[in-house]
Chain A
Amino acid sequence: MSSLEKFVSQQPLIVHSSLSQLRYLVLSEGIPLSKEKPAANRLRCNVWSVLTRCSMDGATSDYVSLVRRGPPPHSIYSKIKNDTFRTLNTDPQFVACVSEDAITRCLSCFAWSVLDDSSGDCELSTYVQGMNVLLAPILYTCPSEPMAYQLFRSLCHDHIKTYLNQSLTGVHNGAKLLDMCLKVIDPKLSKFLADNLLTAEIYGIPSILTLSSCTKPLDQVCKLWDFMFAYGFHMNILFIVAQLVVIRSRILKSNSPMNLLRVFPEFDAEEIIRLGVGFVAKLPSHMYDLLVQHLEDSNLTVE
């Protein structure tokens, strides 16, 4: 049993202090990747839920009650069904672990929950393309659908709510921030891409919206998410920059860099995290503030 697992199993004396310790453990030790999927994933799921302050209390009953309602209205359901079947369908490990039905149910339940909250001030979309991929690592990690749904819901509502509103303002702000960060971190590469009219709005939206879960491999995505669950999903922008920096030589040499950027190559989570954390020091504080705010403030305008 790793120290992280022991730590998680113990009831914290002071929650916010223990959370900091847990974050540090995630950063320093990481959540071990076990070959036995359920064991490792259960720990990861537990850590994720703790880090996001997402309680699974009553998750099953909530989920079941939503599933009972069947598919959401046709306009939503058709969009969901249009995407579910191709969710990471090139990843055999994912396909083996997660059924399309599970994705459909979770997305439908999320749609129902959004519909239920429509009377409130919820700005979330019932469904937007990319949600299925965003859901994929969670379903892959969580031992049960209700927990996955709960975690997904917590992620969408509490962490990246600006990404999932009607106009995806957070995603577009994220794209602008990606360009800005890249310009600060790797001016040469930024200039190269700009010269090729390649802005983040063109190549970066999928990775921004899906929190890099569209990039293979999924296990590395999960590791990346470990860190982001611990220190915030705004780090995803910096991780995208890191992915660009990793392949910068190939991009700079490429005649058609868009072919490289359309689908990011497989990555190593630890390398990306190391690079990304290193970029933090290079970013001016106001830019870091924007990174944090772009996830929370849908009215934020990044110039």
Chain B
Amino acid sequence: MSIRPVVLEDFPETSFEDIETTVSPVNWPKPYKSHQSSPLKEGGGAPSTASSESTTFSNNKKRYSTHTESDEEGSAFLDDFEEFRGKGTTDDLVQTHFAQREEEDGSPFDERLEDRDELDTLTKRFENKVDLKSRNLSGISRPKPTLSRSFKQPQSMLNLRERTGKQIPSSNRPHELTNSRSATSLRPGSRLGSRGIQYKNSMPVLSRYDIIREENEHENYNDEFEDDLKFDKGLLQPQFLTEDDLKSPLNLSPSQYTITADDSLLTPQLHKRHREWIKPSQLNMFREPLRHNKPSTTKLNNTKKLSVNHRLKTIKQEIDHNTPMKKGRMIYNPETLSWEGNEKALSKFRDVDSYDKKAIIIQGKPDLKPPREKKSSSKLGAKQHGKVVGRMMFDQENLCWIRIDGDEKDPFKEIPDFIPPSNVQSGYPMKGLSSKRSQSQFGPNRQSLSGRFSSSATTRYHSLSTGPSSHDSTFNIDSKTLEKFYHEENKWSRKVGGWFILRDAEMDEYDNEQGLPDPKSNGYMYEIRNMVISSARN
């Protein structure tokens, strides 16, 4: 894969050693000498060595030094590193670092010469940006990306250092040229000094090593990415930065961000790769403004992302509940924990709920205080409080719909309604009864001959409160009791229902023809007499 090596080279800052040596005020000139005379140069960086070095470097100074025993420059570098750590203020370091770089102008590296012009312009641009931010932290924070890169190619920590001094073998040069170009370009921009070129040399060198490339080829891209992240936060920062720096909101290198944002500085590969590196910091950056109800900012940031990155970031966003999300026209506001963007649609529902407006839909809120004075026939009272649909209004007391205007006509008025005429006269109409319960599923029909337990029409009358005398609790049967009634009836049906066969005229006729006794005749009343007499005779 051509991408892999390129990716590695995309991070010229990986030359952690470069920074250190550069930063160290005492030894900075040394590296150059050492670079040239580095014995490792010939070694070509055995993979095993490289890996061991990287670990020692990050975690154990002593081991690191032992490794560099054979290498004077290495020990010098270490010293530099220690000094750097000893330094209290970062500003000093940065200043010295830059000052030294200035002195380095006459860099012996030929390959940098062709980029000189471009680098100068980039450096200026970068300096301007730093000035704007009134921060000198850029120099300090630089190790960070370097570190992350060094992690990525941890093996090369020492090798790198040596290689930078090596002057980069010509055998690798063609390769370096193609891939490292971007790295060299990056360098000057990020380092704020043209001198940085010299250190950049080490970066392309890195990519030249097949070892590294091979190793990376076997790695999963995602794994790499995750590992890098771990390194950034945990292991490396404390070694080079004070706690204050770590706490600083800008502990992420501004240069890092600047580079990323400035696509013109980067080759397409670098651009892509770099984005991924910076991803966590970028997320943080746009997370802040979004918290203050600026979803539009998200948009802007998001639109910048390219397809692959964008997909990755979308996943991230969904994982993080603090991150605003956008789906279609809806935007998730983490502060209110709600989705925004459909206020218009919601307002329609609010209108429906609002009491004054006559909703097309029956409002869901029940009338908790139905007016007591309202009677079934009083339309005015009902008008004020009932639900109105068209010309009909719901009478909450009688639970029925009545007309707002005009006379109320009871369509069932003339239907006798189960009470025979004689009873209707007795003054107990069934009007106004509320049907508490429909029991049509119960109640077998006694009138129907089709089946013994089929439901009948009469079972539809099953509200048990009475109209005029509803105040008399005697005739109010609660649903529980009613249930018991049906339950018992069903039990009876199961137990002795078999004793009762629905009979029709034909069956009666048949029984008569057969001379069978009528079960309801008084014949049974003589049974006991017959028994007594027969027993007396015997």
- Minimal beta-carbon separation of B494 from chain A (angstroms): 9
The answer to whether the Cβ of B88 comes within 8 Å of any Cβ in the partner chain is no
The answer to whether the Cβ of B289 comes within 8 Å of any Cβ in the partner chain is no
Chain A 38-57 per-residue mask, 1 if CB under 8 angstroms from chain B, else 0: 00001001100110010111
Please tell me which stretch of B99-107, B353-361, B415-423 contacts chain A, meaning at least 4 of its Cβ atoms lie within 8 angstroms of it.
Answer: B415-423
Query: In the complex, what residues of B have CB within 8 A of residue A115's CB?
Result: 422-423, 426
Query: In the complex, what residues of A have CB within 8 A of residue B495's CB?
Result: 8-9, 42, 46
Query: In the complex, what residues of A have CB within 8 A of residue B493's CB?
Result: 56-57
Query: A16, B526: Cβ atoms under 8 Å?
Result: no
Q: Which of A27, A42, A64, A277 has the most CB of B within 10 A?
A: A64
Query: A61, B462: Cβ atoms under 8 Å?
Result: yes
Please tell me which stretch of A68-76, A203-211, A263-271 contacts chain B, meaning at least 4 of its Cβ atoms lie within 8 angstroms of it.
Answer: A68-76
If A12-B499, A46-B492, A50-B499 touch, whether A119 touches B468 (CB-CB below 8 Å) is: no
The answer to whether the Cβ of A25 comes within 8 Å of any Cβ in the partner chain is no
Query: B527, A23: Cβ atoms under 8 Å?
Result: yes
The answer to whether the Cβ of B529 comes within 8 Å of any Cβ in the partner chain is yes
The answer to whether the Cβ of A185 comes within 8 Å of any Cβ in the partner chain is no
Query: In the complex, what residues of B have CB within 8 A of residue A49's CB?
Result: 492, 496
Of residues 63 through 113 on chain A, the ones whose CB sits less than 8 Å from some CB of chain B are 63-65, 67-73, 101, 104-105, 108, 112
The answer to whether the Cβ of A280 comes within 8 Å of any Cβ in the partner chain is yes
Query: B519, A57: Cβ atoms under 8 Å?
Result: no
Query: B433, A68: Cβ atoms under 8 Å?
Result: yes
If A68-B433, A70-B469 touch, whether A119 touches B420 (CB-CB below 8 Å) is: yes
The answer to whether the Cβ of B368 comes within 8 Å of any Cβ in the partner chain is no
Query: In the complex, what residues of A have CB within 8 A of residue B475's CB?
Result: 67-68, 70-71, 105, 108
The answer to whether the Cβ of B482 comes within 8 Å of any Cβ in the partner chain is yes
In the complex, A64 Cα to B516 Cα: how many Å?
36
The answer to whether the Cβ of A196 comes within 8 Å of any Cβ in the partner chain is no
Query: In the complex, what residues of B have CB within 8 A of residue A144's CB?
Result: 484-485, 488-489
Of residues 479 through 504 on chain B, the ones whose CB sits less than 8 Å from some CB of chain A are 482, 484-486, 488-489, 491-493, 495-501
Query: B444, A57: Cβ atoms under 8 Å?
Result: yes
- Minimal beta-carbon separation of A50 from chain B (angstroms): 5
**B476 to A, closest residue via Cβ:** A67
Query: B498, A65: Cβ atoms under 8 Å?
Result: no
Number of A-B contacts (CB under 8 A): 180
The answer to whether the Cβ of B47 comes within 8 Å of any Cβ in the partner chain is no
Query: B525, A69: Cβ atoms under 8 Å?
Result: no
**A112 to B, closest residue via Cβ:** B423
- Minimal beta-carbon separation of B422 from chain A (angstroms): 6
Of all A-B residue pairs in the complex, the 6 with the closest CB atoms, nearest first, are A11-B498, A232-B525, A70-B466, A61-B443, A58-B446, A144-B488
Chain B residues at the A interface, C-beta cutoff of 8 Å: 418-420, 422-423, 426-428, 430, 433, 439, 442-446, 452-453, 456, 458-459, 461-470, 472-475, 477, 482, 484-486, 488-489, 491-493, 495-501, 516-517, 519-520, 522, 524-529, 532-533, 536
Query: B499, A69: Cβ atoms under 8 Å?
Result: no
In the complex, A292 Cα to B523 Cα: how many Å?
10
A-B contact pairs, 20 of them (CB 8 A): A8-B496, A8-B499, A16-B519, A23-B524, A53-B500, A55-B500, A57-B453, A57-B497, A60-B488, A61-B461, A68-B475, A69-B419, A70-B472, A101-B473, A116-B422, A119-B420, A146-B489, A230-B524, A231-B527, A292-B522
Query: A235, B528: Cβ atoms under 8 Å?
Result: yes
Of residues 140 through 191 on chain A, the ones whose CB sits less than 8 Å from some CB of chain B are 143-147, 158
Chain A residues at the B interface, C-beta cutoff of 8 Å: 8-12, 15-16, 18-20, 23, 27, 42, 45-46, 49-50, 53, 55-65, 67-73, 101, 104-105, 108, 112, 115-116, 118-119, 143-147, 158, 230-232, 234-235, 277-278, 280-281, 285, 288, 292, 296
Query: B428, A277: Cβ atoms under 8 Å?
Result: no
Choose one: A15, A58, A61, A288; the contact of B499 (CB below 8 Å).
Answer: A15
Query: B422, A16: Cβ atoms under 8 Å?
Result: no
- Minimal beta-carbon separation of A7 from chain B (angstroms): 10
- Minimal beta-carbon separation of B515 from chain A (angstroms): 11
In the complex, A292 Cα to B433 Cα: how many Å?
45
Q: Which of A65, A71, A108 has the most CB of B within 10 A?
A: A65
Query: In the complex, what residues of B have CB within 8 A of residue A231's CB?
Result: 524-525, 527-528
- Minimal beta-carbon separation of A237 from chain B (angstroms): 12
In the complex, A84 Cα to B529 Cα: how many Å?
37
In the complex, A12 Cα to B519 Cα: how many Å?
13
In the complex, A187 Cα to B308 Cα: how many Å?
120
If A9-B495, A15-B519 touch, whether A69 touches B466 (CB-CB below 8 Å) is: yes
Query: B498, A60: Cβ atoms under 8 Å?
Result: no
Query: A147, B472: Cβ atoms under 8 Å?
Result: no
**B499 to A, closest residue via Cβ:** A50
Query: B499, A280: Cβ atoms under 8 Å?
Result: no
**B498 to A, closest residue via Cβ:** A11
If A62-B446, A64-B464 touch, whether A53 touches B488 (CB-CB below 8 Å) is: no
Query: B486, A288: Cβ atoms under 8 Å?
Result: no
**A43 to B, closest residue via Cβ:** B495
Choose one: A53, A143, A235; the contact of B519 (CB below 8 Å).
Answer: A53
Query: A143, B466: Cβ atoms under 8 Å?
Result: no
Query: In the complex, what residues of A have CB within 8 A of residue B500's CB?
Result: 50, 53, 55, 57
Choose one: B430, B444, B497; the contact of A68 (CB below 8 Å).
Answer: B430
Query: In the complex, what residues of A have CB within 8 A of residue B456's CB?
Result: 58, 61
- Minimal beta-carbon separation of A8 from chain B (angstroms): 6
**B522 to A, closest residue via Cβ:** A292
Query: B474, A105: Cβ atoms under 8 Å?
Result: yes
In the complex, A6 Cα to B445 Cα: how many Å?
27
- Minimal beta-carbon separation of A78 from chain B (angstroms): 13
- Minimal beta-carbon separation of B152 from chain A (angstroms): 84
In the complex, A194 Cα to B525 Cα: how many Å?
29
Known: A19-B519, A53-B519, A58-B459. 18 other contacts (CB 8 A): A8-B495, A15-B519, A53-B520, A57-B453, A58-B446, A60-B488, A64-B461, A68-B461, A68-B466, A68-B475, A70-B466, A115-B423, A115-B426, A143-B488, A230-B524, A231-B528, A234-B525, A281-B536
In the complex, A57 Cα to B422 Cα: how many Å?
26
- Minimal beta-carbon separation of A282 from chain B (angstroms): 9
Query: B430, A64: Cβ atoms under 8 Å?
Result: no
In the complex, A214 Cα to B322 Cα: how many Å?
84
If A58-B446, A70-B467 touch, whether A147 touches B492 (CB-CB below 8 Å) is: yes
Query: In the complex, what residues of A have CB within 8 A of residue B527's CB?
Result: 20, 23, 231
- Minimal beta-carbon separation of B446 from chain A (angstroms): 4
If A69-B428, A118-B422 touch, whether A63 touches B485 (CB-CB below 8 Å) is: yes
Q: Which of B456, B497, B525 has the most CB of A within 10 A?
A: B525
In the complex, A73 Cα to B459 Cα: how many Å?
24
